[in-house]
């Protein structure tokens, strides 16, 4: 009986393990994208813009203070916001 059981077990097909796949590489780009902490803002031009950095108040060219969003997805360092 042991011989019959052993012969039956040895005759069963053994599944082959697939070799591990190489991790997928993301396409290279010129701009480093951050994946966390971004927020949508309304730019002074009327367009929506996605920025990662804090909103800051900076002096404008005319001497007034204006709010700007920093480190935006389009590569801009600072984008004036619509109040």
Residue 50 is assigned to a structural domain of this protein: yes
Residue 54 is assigned to a structural domain of this protein: yes
Q: Is the pLDDT confidence value at 43 over 90? A: yes
- What secondary structure letter does DSSP report for 21? P
Residue 37 structure tokens: 């902490």
Q: What is the pTM of this model?
A: 0.53
Residue 59 is assigned to a structural domain of this protein: yes
For residue 49, the enclosing domain spans 36-77
Lowest-pLDDT choice from 26-30, 52-56, 70-74? 26-30
Confidence label for 70 from pLDDT (cuts 50, 70 and 90): very high
Mean pLDDT of 46-65: 93
Residue 15 structure tokens: 């599944």
Residue 21 is assigned to a structural domain of this protein: no
Residue 2 is assigned to a structural domain of this protein: no
């Amino acid at each position: 009986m042991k011989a019959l059981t052993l012969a039956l077990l040895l005759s069963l097909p053994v599944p082959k393990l697939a070799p591990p796949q190489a991790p997928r590489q993301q396409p290279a780009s010129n701009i480093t994208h951050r994946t966390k902490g971004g927020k949508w803002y309304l730019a002074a031009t009327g367009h929506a813009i996605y920025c990662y950095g804090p909103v800051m108040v900076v002096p404008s060219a005319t001497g007034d203070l204006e709010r700007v969003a920093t480190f935006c997805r389009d590569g801009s360092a600072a984008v004036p916001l619509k109040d």
